[in-house]
Structure 1
Amino acid sequence: MTLYDSFSAISSTLLTVAKGTIVASTGISILLSGLLYFKQSSLIYPRYLPEGARTEVASPDDLNIRSWEGVKLTTKDGETLNSFFLKAVKPKGVTVLFMHGNAGNIGHRLPIAKVFSDQMGCNIFMLSYRGYGFSTGRPSEKGLIIDAEAALNYILEHPDCKHDKIFIYGQSLGGALAIKLAARNQEKVHGLILENTFRSMRTLIPSAFPPAKYLARLCHQVWPSETTLPGIREVPTLFLSGARDELVPPDHMKTLYNLCNAPKVWREFPNGTHNETVAEPGYFERIYEFILAVRKGQLEKIGVVRGAERKEAVDEKVGKKRE
């Protein structure tokens, strides 16, 4: 059985989160014209979507996940983050810090985490951002960075992770947060996995929400990945791009790949949409081969490009796949 086969039953869960994200996006395009500056937190971080996202969080027990801990992280500014730490069934010396997208909660992503823990042999820490799920506080760029630092410190101090390779895995907004965290902790992080993330919030607004394109400069939740990512030079980075992403234009991922100065790998999924790239055939196999290559020091076996050696590499690879 492939990793994809084991994951085929979760499409309804992904669709639920996708609907929440799309509703939020529609709301942004209508409301940003008058409310961008003062209400952007609730628009950019739609933590109440889908319905029940703040009152109902699935437990790992609901998915028969064998070994896990509920973790109440206290941040340096006093927020409580109700997160999950899932332990690998057959540990392979890898721990993954999982950063999810801007809608839903960690319970919605448990099917993804289960693949990591049960089939890849990875411990996985599922960070519940402030203001999401059962966590306290209100989300903001500054606050989420504090949350991510608290999660990484927890992993580094956990007895089950002492000798592990640490990977950060971020989807969409979580990818922007993963880039920020990796840039600040390059000596502690062994791999970075980015899925369908954006160059910056200000560059995303004109393409994703055209009615508000002239107001992008008012966005104070910046998430400047295109300026942060080039500073990461030694952390191997895997780019997972859905070619049919309807929310974040795929050229955002291509730009980030070309800006990346670290050892990097590009993987494109021709039918991948913003929220369902994770359900595409081969998705988890690509992650697993990357993790193994990093762990064994064999990046050359998966076609890694060293930093900015060839900035045109991604366009060449995409062109070959489409021929």
Structure 2
Amino acid sequence: MQSTKLLPSACVQQIVRGSQKTQHGIQRIGLATREGEFVEGFYTDRRTSSPLPGGSNGNYLIVCCEGNGGYPEIGIPLVPLELGYSVLAWNHPGFGSSTGMPFPKQECNAMEAVLLFAIRHLKFKWNEIYLYGWSIGGYTASWAAMNYPSLGGLILDATFDDLDELARRTVPNCLYPLVLATVKQTLDLNNSAQLIAYNGPVRIIRRSDDEIISTSEPPTRASNRANVLLIKLLKHRFPNLMTVENEALLTHYLTLSAEEQVMQYKMYTRETVVASIDYTMLKT
């Protein structure tokens, strides 16, 4: 029964690989980590190709880090590919043809091998390389940004701050201390700590109705852990700006719908203008 499920999946991947190779000039590569594990990767170098949508975008390399259960053949690389960027994507340890297990150390070693390939073989400069991490792929992306600070920038899409509160949601309260200790020992994916260690450009994309990284049931914008990731970054980079009052204002703003956010912004800016006018009148 299990083999009949795996066969269609394998066929689909082969079909997708073939179509992408034809459409985007994708090359399949094999890399070795410092532990000797095999990393399956895919890339397209568009620096010398004919003009594509996006103009000079091909001069920049987007390194894509997939989410849990994601595959580069059908995942986030499709976005930068359509925009004309050079792209380098890879399969997590244990996924696709990559060997090993998707534990933090092996994940980071795989990420290291991918970046060294980009620098030494493809000859991209550090500031020409941008990292794009989706969901749990934000761990390897933020780890790389922390360890290679000259990278051009970091994009975190649907990424959480750490696993602590997400683990609490999935187990009874009586078991949480045990689960938390296990997570800290074997799966300490502290994305926020790695993120604040990077001082380069960052873009955080939050999926407003995300069910995976929200801690409430049903999921809400208020419980989305991307909120916490953003606030921790802002508090680190702008400690004087992120007062208790401003943090509370931002936290509330992040719970609103897009329409409510526009109304809140207009209300706040109108109050600011009125206050400024009153202040000017007092001065005269």
TM-score between both structures, scaled by the size of structure 2: 0.70
1:176-215 → structure 2 map (5 Å cutoff): 176-187=139-150, 189-207=151-169, 209-211=170-172, 213-214=176-177, 215=179
8 A contact 1:195–1:240 mirrored in 2: yes
2:67 to 94, 97, 101: 101
CA offset at residue 73 of structure 1?
0.6
Find the counterpart in structure 2 of residue 31 from structure 1.
Answer: none
RMSD: 2.9
Find the counterpart in structure 1 of residue 192 from structure 2.
Answer: 226
1:134-149 → structure 2 map (5 Å cutoff): 134-149=97-112
Identity %: 21
Find the counterpart in structure 1 of residue 77 from structure 2.
Answer: 113
Matched, 1:80 2:38: yes
Find the counterpart in structure 2 of residue 169 from structure 1.
Answer: 132
Instruction: Tell me the SS of whatever aligns to 1:117.
Output: helix
CA–CA separation in structure 2 for the residues paired with 1:163 and 1:218: 36
Deviations 1:272-322 (A, max 9, x none): xxxxxxxxxxxxxxxxxxxxxxxxxxxxxxxxxx65564337436534834
CA–CA separation in structure 2 for the residues paired with 1:240 and 1:139: 24
8 A contact 2:126–2:152 mirrored in 1: no
Instruction: Tell me the SS of whatever aligns to 2:77.
Output: helix
- Code of the residue aligned with 2:161 in structure 1: it is R
Find the counterpart in structure 2 of residue 246 from structure 1.
Answer: 211
CA–CA separation in structure 2 for the residues paired with 1:53 and 1:106: 17
CA–CA separation in structure 2 for the residues paired with 1:99 and 1:139: 13
Deviations 1:165-223 (A, max 9, x none): 21100011101221111101112x1110001111212332113x133534222222111
Instruction: Tell me the SS of whatever aligns to 2:69.
Output: coil
TM-score between both structures, scaled by the size of structure 1: 0.62
In our comparison, the structure showing a higher alpha carbon Rg is: 2
- Code of the residue aligned with 1:85 in structure 2: it is Y
CA–CA separation in structure 2 for the residues paired with 1:181 and 1:53: 34
8 A contact 1:232–1:260 mirrored in 2: no
1:61-72 → structure 2 map (5 Å cutoff): 61-63=18-20, 64-72=22-30
1:321 to 220, 243, 258: 258
Instruction: Tell me the SS of whatever aligns to 1:96.
Output: strand
- Larger RCO (CA under 8 A, 6+ residues apart): 1
Matched, 1:217 2:187: no
CA–CA separation in structure 1 for the residues paired with 2:8 and 2:193: 32
CA–CA separation in structure 1 for the residues paired with 2:240 and 2:23: 42
8 A contact 2:66–2:72 mirrored in 1: yes
Instruction: Tell me the SS of whatever aligns to 1:260.
Output: helix
Gaps of 5+ in 2: 215-222, 261-284
CA–CA separation in structure 2 for the residues paired with 1:53 and 1:244: 30
CA offset at residue 140 of structure 1?
0.8
CA 1:173–1:52: 2 relative to 1, 3 Å:
farther
Instruction: Tell me the SS of whatever aligns to 2:73.
Output: helix
8 A contact 1:113–1:124 mirrored in 2: yes
CA offset at residue 62 of structure 1?
1.9
CA 1:145–1:163: 2 relative to 1, 3 Å:
closer
Find the counterpart in structure 2 of residue 33 from structure 1.
Answer: none
CA–CA separation in structure 2 for the residues paired with 1:182 and 1:143: 17
Deviations 1:132-154 (A, max 9, x none): 11111222111000000111111
Find the counterpart in structure 2 of residue 44 from structure 1.
Answer: none
CA–CA separation in structure 1 for the residues paired with 2:195 and 2:126: 26
Instruction: Tell me the SS of whatever aligns to 2:74.
Output: helix
8 A contact 2:210–2:224 mirrored in 1: no
Figure out how many residues of one structure are paired with residues of the other and give that number. Answer: 227
CA offset at residue 106 of structure 1?
2.2
